[in-house]
Amino acid sequence: MAQNNDNNANVLHPHITPMATYFKVALALFGLTFLTVFAHQFHHQMGSWAAPVAFLIALIKASLVILWFMHLKDDTKMNRFIFAIGFVFLALLFGICAIDFATRVPEFSPL
Amino acid sequence: MSTDNHAHGAHTAHVAHHFKTADQQYSSGKEGIWLFMLTEILMFGAIFVGYFYYHNQYPEMFAEGAKSLDWKMGFVNTLVLIFSSFTMAISISFIQKNQQKKAVLALATTILCAAIFMVIKYFEYQHKFHLGLYPGKFLDAAKVGAEHANLGLYFGFYYTMTGLHGIHVMIGIGLITWCLLRTVRGDFHSQYWIPVEGVGLFWHIVDLIWIFLFPLLYLVG
């Protein structure tokens, strides 16, 4: 078959992630889960930093899943845009609620 | 019988007439799933905002609620779910290389992990019900010995977040089973696997949500 598959509209040209990459990502995810629990042992010392540290590790884990397991790293620009839009609206939701909370004057009902 | 190493002889992409190329058909299918994932992120995002809001309003009450959760259960479930995400990802890799038997094994492992997750969840819920830790007004404040009268609010969030996530896990079990059966039937190969890719994306989102739920509910509280 001398046919050039690169020009054939009926042939799919997938991006195949090497198995080793999946192994590395899975290992990193396991490691970061252990790190989450390990860091939590020091939550008294960290005080108000305990929650941001835990969520920062979660964010790194989420990025690994999104980029490699969900293949967003090698995906089309449109799909990356769709995903980014989701987080823009999420940030809007969090941001406006945070402003509301920070500026609210506590009032107590006389009833 | 030829193997599929040189040409894509036996396996064709079956391009539907409204698509120009197989690649376009593939990315269109994936784009639809990504739009669906967007709604998932925003749905859970809204509940997270609610949690943060009330957590700021009643920090001591949320701390009291979080104390009753066993982080070891959540930790084991996190590992189980990450492993299932890994097996889901490699199943697609196997299908892309026409190693369907290995793909079936990977998909079966994913279903098994999802089932283990739900069994652990069942024991967690069972324990909470036993202690009288129900959501909202159903919380047995006397039996629990609650320090805060509104402790039911915390468990309202706990059951809503883990419950909605659990429903996603069960739907995932159904969808992955469907992919497994179709892989056994020989529907998927190096030129066609969009359903598995889509279900995979859904399953990774389920994993992703749990990655945030675990520190939120079990650790930080």
Q: Would residue A64 count as lying in a domain?
A: yes
pLDDT at A2 over 80: no
Does residue A84 fall inside a structural domain?
A: yes
What would the pLDDT profile of B166-189 be if each residue is shown by its tens digit? 999 999 999 999 999 999 999 999
> Do the chains contact at A11 and B191, CB–CB below 8 Å?
yes
Interface test with B, best of A70, A80, A89 (most B CBs within 10 A): A70
Domain match, A94 and A61 both: no
What's the gap in Å between the CA of B202 and the closest CA on chain A?
Answer: 9
What's domain B22-220's architecture?
Up-down Bundle (1.20)
Q: Determine the residue of chain A that is closest to B88 in CA distance.
A: A69
- Our count of domains for chain A comes to 2
CA distance B141 to B92: 49
In a domain, residue A62? The reply is yes
Residue A29 and residue A48 share a domain: yes
DSSP B172-219: HHHHHHHHHHHHHTT--BTTB-HHHHHHHHHHHHHHHHHHHHIIIIII
State the average pLDDT over residues A4-30: 86
Q: Is B1 on the interface with A (CB under 8 A)?
A: no
pLDDT class of A6 with cuts at 50, 70, 90? low
> How many angstroms separate the CA atoms of B143 and B69, rounded?
17
Q: CB-CB: which of B21, B42, B211 is closest to A9?
A: B21
Instruction: Give the pLDDT band of residue A3 (cuts 50, 70, 90).
Output: low
Overall average pLDDT of the B188-207 stretch: 96
Report the candidate in B180, B186, B169, B159 with the shortest Cα–Cα distance to residue B84: B169
Domain boundaries, chain B: 22-220
CA distance linking residue B85 with residue B183, whole number of Å: 18
Q: What is the pLDDT of residue B15?
A: 87
Q: What pLDDT, in 10s, does the model give residues B17-74?
A: 999 999 999 999 999 999 999 999 999 999 999 999 999 889 999 999 998 899 999 9
User: What are the chain B neighbours of A58 within 8 Å (beta carbons)?
Assistant: 211-212, 214-215
- At residue B4, the pLDDT reads 43
* Residue A91 and residue A48 share a domain: no
Does residue A40 sit in the same domain as residue A23? yes
Please tell me whether residues A23 and A62 are part of one structural domain.
Answer: yes
What's the ipTM? 0.89
* Structural domain contains residue A98: yes
Domain that residue A91 falls in: 76-102
Q: What percent of chain B has pLDDT over 90?
A: 79
Residue that has been written with the tokens 């120009």 in this structure: B20
A24 and A64 co-located in one domain? yes
Q: Is residue A53 part of a domain?
A: yes
Nearest residue on chain B to A91, alpha-carbon basis:
B45
Shared domain check, A83 and A57: no
Residue A24 lies in a domain: yes
Same domain, A58 and A21: yes
Residues A49 and A65 in one domain: yes
Residue A80 CA to chain centroid, in angstroms? 12
